[in-house]
Structure 1
Amino acid sequence: MGEPVTDPSDVFAPDCPVRPIYGDITSRWAMLALAALDERPHRFSQLAGRVGGVSEKMLSQTLRALTRDGLVTRIVTPTVPIQVTYELTALGTELTPRLRSLVTWVADHTPVIQAAQTAYDADPPVPPATANRR
Structure 2
Amino acid sequence: MNNRPNFNIYHPNCPSRLFFENMADKWILFILDTLRNQPEHFNGLKKKILGISPKVLSHKLKILERDGFISREILDTRPIRVQYSLSALGFEFSKTALSFKHWAEANMQHVLSAQQYFDQQQLMENTQEQLMAD
TM-score bin, normalised by smaller chain: 0.7 to 0.9
Aligned ranges 1:43-122 → 2 under 5 Å: 43-122=41-120
The runs of at least 4 aligned residues of structure 1 exceeding 6 Å deviation read: none
Is contact 2:30-2:97 (8 Å) kept? no
Name 1:29's counterpart in structure 2.
27
Q: Which runs of 5+ in 2 are unaligned?
A: 126-134
Tell me which amino acid in the other structure corresponds to 2:14: C
Tell me which amino acid in the other structure corresponds to 2:97: L
Percent sequence identity is 30
Is contact 1:70-1:92 (8 Å) kept? yes
When the two chains are superposed, the root-mean-square deviation of aligned CA atoms in Å is 1.9
Shift of the alpha carbon at 1:80? 2.6
Larger radius of gyration: 2
Q: Which runs of 5+ in 1 are unaligned?
A: 1-5, 127-134
- What TM-score does the superposition give when structure 2 sets the normalisation length? 0.83
How far apart are the structure 2 equivalents of 1:49 and 1:91?
A: 25
Tell me the alpha carbon deviations over residues 8-57 of structure 1, each in whole angstroms, 9 at most, x when there is no partner: 1x111111211111122221111001000001000000010010110000
Q: Which has the higher helix share?
A: 2
Tell me the alpha carbon deviations over residues 45-70 of structure 1, each in whole angstroms, 9 at most, x when there is no partner: 00100101100001001101011110
